[in-house]
Amino acid sequence: MRRSKPALLPARLLFKRSIRTSAPRWNQPFDPKSIERAEDEVDVCIVGGGPAGLSAAIRLKQLEREKGNEIRVVVLEKGSEAGSHILSGAVIEPRALDELLPEWRTMEEHPLRQPATSSKMLFMTEKMTFPMPHPPQMSNKGNYIVSLSQYARWLANVAENEYGVEIYPGFAGAQLLLSEAPDAKDAWGNDVRSVRGVITNEVGLTKDFRMKSSFEPGMAFRSKVTLLAEGAHGSLSKQAIQMYDLRKESEPQTYAIGLKEVWRVDPSEYKPGLVQHLVGWPLSSDTYGGGWVYHMNDGLVSLGLVIALDYKNPYLSPYRELQRMKHHPFFRRLLKDGERIGYGARSLTEGGFQSIPKLNFPGGALLGCSAGVVNIAKIKGTHNAMKTGMLAAEAAYEAIHEESEDAPATDMSGYDKAFHESWVRDDLYEVRNLRPSFGTKLGIWGGMAYSGVDTLFLKGRVPWTFKHHRPSHGPDKTSSLDSSFTEKADLHTPINYPPFEAPLSTDLMTSVALTGTNHAEDQPVHLRVVKTKDFVKGIEESQNFAVGAGVNALKAEAEIDAVAEDEVEAERKRRIEHVKVNVGEYAGLLQRACPAGVYEYIDVEGSGNTPEGDAWQGKKLVINSQNCIHCKLCDIKVPTQDITWTVPEGSGGPKYTLT
């Protein structure tokens, strides 16, 4: 049984949390400059309790046993428990697990119970399916079909109970804790402030940034090394990439959205261990993506659809595409008399080798999908994510115990070097040209032809490396490449999706209910209407933590001079401009793209404006942040690149158990 959150905290930490020099006044605006935070010192602080972060934690404690030097390792997990925010297909290649825990097959309660027994590739038309040659990279011999949520939960139990790792669920890493002045050089020789740890989110603020009676400031975890293992497009990872220009020598990252359902199917349709991948319908020929069907253990089937987020048509709805896919005779037969018991969605990286950024920065490093190590040709990334965690752990352990106590910032460059000498690099390098080949003028058919030749004969042994395709108006370094491919609505016609046929296909909110998602409604909106570079700048330069949270939040901060009055007006203008462009030019893309119904552009009654004055031509943006399942699609795909995903209060979000 897992311990309760308070029991996980050291006594000194509990003592510090109870100390306040002055009690906050209820309903007063939040003043970040007057806050005194509880602090704790650790050797390594890991943000994210997924496979990468937990592998790093386990490997660090293994090194402690092997070499005898004590090391304190803390894992901060924003979910209510390890695994509750984890979602993937998933078929796992156990290579990294074999290295990390060679005895795992003899360990009780391990979740790798269903070996993959056969693999098939199918091409779908609207009514038919046809077998296709199976690429060698997609062979699943020796692999296992799992729930990645359950897998992460098991790894967390191993880390905590077998190795003494401190895991703090419900602690959301909200800010990077930086040195007070430049004390290090970045990879490019610039004088920079180093990362000295992580600050967790404030608890007990209203949506208008006023303190409730339950207010408690976020905690500062000061660490010698900070490892960011947040998954694809993590909020702190984005900040680190921007602050230290980690993409200076790499291609932009590209992403897809994966939507997943778990069904209990009729025994006559259940084929344990069968792995099927699908291409073609329902996606158009200029949209990269495909479906999957994995027969898990215990009569369960994982099915889903992955859609690359460089799709052009703003009328496309990933959720409706998944529901439409299930209307195919192939799925009607599979799911007849079945019961849907799970749903979820998550962004994943597709950029591959050429999109790997510089992995280290002063005081820390990027791990797993924060670095972008999914092998999109294999449709797998867990093995690579775990190995990066192990490599980072080894570099961190060595750096911590070699450097003097007064060293300005821990040097993690050994990790970047080890990565490029590892089998993870080789795994990604061999298939580096497959995904970019689909972005040529030859389209999906040209990509399939090149990929077939490369996988069967060339195997990546060519002197060229394709770049990811770009539109003529390519993005800046802090914007999403995928969003820039979105075309204006007047170039397309709305997609006529078929009506739902419950229980085979259902409306969105019925599906979201299966995620167990919950956020306290009266808390600051964690989906900020502001560009990422401006959000980071606002925090770094003026401690404007309310930026992007709405006009009323900025007004509250202006009451205590935490922000200037002109910043309130700037907030209003950002909202108006967002609605103007996204509704006027892109037909309200987020209203269809979000797989959790978070965004709405509603009609304003009466005067056509709101008390906040943030409507445009009678339309207002409403963010239902309590529905958010933390998929990050909005941050990546919004054409205006002015949604910045930040962490909500800890424990908020989905409660995945079977995904």
Domain that holds residue 639: 517-645
Rounded Cα–Cα distance for residues 578 and 530 (Å): 9
Question: CA nearest 310: which of 332, 287, 333?
Answer: 287
300 is a domain residue: no
**Residues 180, 64 share a domain:** yes
**Confidence tier at 10 by pLDDT (50, 70, 90):** very low
414, 431, 448 — which closes off a domain?
431
**Residues 628, 532 share a domain:** yes
Please state, as a whole number, how many other Cβ atoms lie within 10 Å of the Cβ of residue 125.
10
pLDDT computed for residue 283 by the predictor:
97
Percent of the chain at pLDDT > 90 equals 83
DSSP state at residue 561: T
Q: What is the pLDDT of residues 190-201, one digit of tens each?
A: 999 999 999 999
CATH number, residue 617: 3.30.70.20
12 is a domain residue: no
Q: 123 pairs with which residues across the strands?
A: 130, 279
Q: What is the mean pLDDT of residues 53-63?
A: 98
Evaluate if residue 243 carries a pLDDT over 60: yes
Evaluate if residue 77 carries a pLDDT over 80: yes
As for how many domains the chain has, the answer is: 2
CA separation, residue 497 to residues 101, 382, 493, 599 (Å):
47, 34, 12, 20
CATH number, residue 389: 3.50.50.60
Q: What is the pLDDT of residues 101-113, one digit of tens each?
A: 999 999 989 999 9
**Residues 201, 65 share a domain:** yes
537 is a domain residue: yes
**Residues 522, 427 share a domain:** no
pLDDT computed for residue 17 by the predictor:
38
397, 431, 465 — which closes off a domain?
431
292 is a domain residue: no
**Residues 199, 52 share a domain:** yes
Rounded Cα–Cα distance for residues 57 and 45 (Å): 9
What is 355-393 written as a DSSP string?
G----EETTEEE-HHHH---BTTTTB-HHHHHHHHHHHH
625 is a domain residue: yes
Examine residue 90 and say whether the peptide bond preceding it is cis (omega within 30 degrees of 0): yes
Rounded Cα–Cα distance for residues 212 and 209 (Å): 9
**Residues 79, 187 share a domain:** yes
Phi, psi (degrees; rounded to nearest 5) at 409: -160, 140
69 is a domain residue: yes
128 is a domain residue: no
What is 154-166 written as a DSSP string?
HHHHIIIIIH--E
pLDDT computed for residue 607 by the predictor:
61
Please state, as a whole number, how many other Cβ atoms lie within 10 Å of the Cβ of residue 11.
7
Rounded Cα–Cα distance for residues 277 and 376 (Å): 13
Q: What is the mean pLDDT of residues 445-453?
A: 85
Q: What is the mean pLDDT of residues 350-363?
A: 98
60 is a domain residue: yes
pLDDT computed for residue 19 by the predictor:
35
Helix (H) or strand (E) holding 399: helix 382-402
**Confidence tier at 135 by pLDDT (50, 70, 90):** confident
What is 246-271 written as a DSSP string?
TTTTSPPP-EEEEEEEEEE--GGG--
**Is the Cβ–Cβ distance between 551 and 614 less than 8 Å?**
yes
Active site residues: 88, 346, 382, 594, 628, 631, 634
Question: CA nearest 621: which of 532, 485, 528?
Answer: 528
361, 396, 431 — which closes off a domain?
431
pLDDT computed for residue 521 by the predictor:
81
**Residues 248, 382 share a domain:** yes
**Residues 639, 525 share a domain:** yes
**Residues 83, 194 share a domain:** yes
pLDDT computed for residue 14 by the predictor:
38
Q: What is the mean pLDDT of residues 470-487?
A: 75
Per the model's pLDDT, the better-predicted residue between 454 and 211 turns out to be 211
- For the chain, the average pLDDT equals 92
Q: What is the pLDDT of residues 490-523, one digit of tens each?
A: 999 999 999 999 999 999 999 999 999 999 889 9
Q: What is the pLDDT of residues 568-614, one digit of tens each?
A: 999 999 999 999 999 999 999 999 999 999 999 999 986 667 788 89
